[in-house]
Structures are given as C-alpha cells and as structure tokens.
C-alpha cells in the first residue's frame, strides 16, 4: 500500500479495543502521524477540545455516550473542520443516507476489509465523499428534503444552542438545562427562543420531537 504524501492526525472513537488497535496500526502507517483513541463520546469531545489539529475522526454510531446520529451532528456543529468517517456495523440504507445528509464524509461498514477503509481515507483526504460500491446503487436516491432542510438548519445553531436542543429532546425543563450547563435560566430561555426561530418550529416540544426522530439510528449501529 502506498504511503500518502499528506500528513493528517486522526482519532478513532470506538469502544472495542481490538478494533481500535487494528485500525490504529493501519492508519499510523498510512498517515505517517499519531492516531489518537477514545472509547466513549465524552472522552472523544475532550480529546477534540485538546487536540485542535485533528483532521479525521472515525466514529462508531453506537459507542457509549453516542446516540445514533446525534453524536455526528454534535461534532459537526462544534468542530466543523473535522472530517468524519462513520465506521459502523449498521448497514441500514436509511441510516447511511441520513448520516451523509448530516455531514459524514464517508460511511464504512465494520465488515469492510482494511484496504477498503484506506480507500475511504484516500477519498476523504482528497476532498471527496466515499461509500462502498455495493451500496451506491441503493443510495442513489438522496436523503429526503426534510432531512436535508433540517441538517441545514442545525448548522445555524451555536454549539451552546445545540447542547440546549439536545437537552430539550431529552425532555429537560429550562431550569434543569440551566443546572446541567451551569448558566442562568434566563440564558436558557434566550437560547430556546433562538433555537425555535432557527429551526422554524413553534414550540420546544416540536423541536425536541423533530430532533429525536431525524437523528435516531437503529439499535444495532
């Protein structure tokens, strides 16, 4: 396998140590740079905060702390320059289609051999998106207009507004959200008003339901 001329730092976010070890070995040789690891979503966010030079993220949809596509959208919102490759056991066409609509650069089944994953890395670093050949025909139909429209609206939220929206989707009240984020309740009320305006919805319940329904992925992810 040829070595890539460009340097890139990457992080593997997956709770399976053997999978991380195999992928890290392949990526270290290919990228010619350090490859970081995270075994849960909280750790991933901490590493991304500390290591701002990270360019590639290999994200498992169902790692601890990550709920379906919610983690993907959270990272895209907070770290828009990071290229995200979903590596998942879930091969649901609907989930893959929505993952790409919400900003993933590639979707690689965990059953794929390492050379295929390296092909995905090559494509993403070259500025392209990547999908397995055997799934491309099934994915020719684009994501629904509603999904694409919602993805565009989510990009308008600030990282703090995104956190508030996540809490709303979890059913928390403004007072509880304020406690969770260690801010005043009046600040949360301002965020909620901005969220409703940006998403084009009438109330917090509608915002939470749409967010939950759009971003959920199958339990097998």
8 Å CB contact between 167 and 180: yes
The token pair at 181 is 């984020």
For residues 218 and 151, which has the higher predicted lDDT (pLDDT)? 151
Please say if the pLDDT value at position 4 is more than 80.
Answer: no
Is 189 contained in some domain? yes
pLDDT (0 to 100) of residue 114:
84
With cut-offs at 50, 70 and 90, classify the pLDDT of residue 190: very high
pLDDT (0 to 100) of residue 37:
93
Please say if the pLDDT value at position 29 is more than 50.
Answer: yes
Same domain, 169 and 131: no
The token pair at 112 is 């794929």
pLDDT (0 to 100) of residue 1:
38
Q: CB count, 10 Å around CB of 66? A: 23
Is 146 contained in some domain? no
Same domain, 99 and 129: yes
pTM above 0.75, yes or no: yes
Kindly give the residue spans of alpha helices, DSSP state H, lying in the chain.
Answer: 17-31, 41-50, 70-78, 93-101, 114-125, 133-136, 145-154, 159-169, 174-181, 185-199, 204-215
Same domain, 123 and 161: no
Q: Which domain holds residue 57?
A: 9-136
* End-to-end C-alpha distance for the chain, whole angstroms: 30
Provide, rounded to the nearest whole percent, the portion of the chain with pLDDT above 90: 40
Number of domains in the chain: 2
Pairing of strands 106-109, 83-88: parallel
Same domain, 33 and 119: yes
CATH number of the domain that residue 191 is part of: 1.10.10.10
Residue 72: HSE in the Cβ half-sphere, 13 Å Cα cutoff: 32
């Amino acid at each position: 396998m040829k070595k890539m001329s460009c340097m890139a730092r990457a992080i593997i976010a997956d709770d399976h140590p053997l999978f991380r070890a195999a992928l890290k070995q392949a990526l270290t040789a290919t990228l010619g740079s350090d490859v970081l690891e995270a075994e849960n979503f909280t750790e991933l966010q901490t590493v991304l905060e500390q290591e701002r030079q990270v360019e590639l993220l290999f994200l498992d949809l169902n790692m601890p702390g990550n709920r379906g596509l919610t983690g993907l959208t959270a990272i895209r919102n907070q770290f828009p320059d990071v290229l995200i490759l979903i590596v998942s056991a879930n091969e649901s066409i609907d989930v893959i289609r929505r993952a790409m609509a919400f900003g993933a650069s590639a979707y690689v089944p965990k059953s794929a051999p390492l050379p295929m994953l390296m092909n995905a890395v090559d494509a993403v670093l070259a500025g392209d998106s990547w999908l397995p050949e055997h799934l491309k025909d099934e994915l020719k139909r684009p994501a629904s207009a509603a999904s694409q429209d919602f993805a565009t609206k989510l990009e308008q939220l600030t990282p703090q507004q995104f956190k508030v929206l996540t809490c709303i989707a979890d059913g928390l009240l403004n007072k509880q959200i304020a406690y969770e984020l260690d801010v005043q309740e009046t600040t949360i009320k301002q965020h909620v008003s901005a969220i409703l305006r940006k998403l084009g919805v009438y109330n917090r319940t509608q915002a939470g339901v749409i967010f939950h329904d759009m971003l959920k992925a199958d339990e097998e992810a």
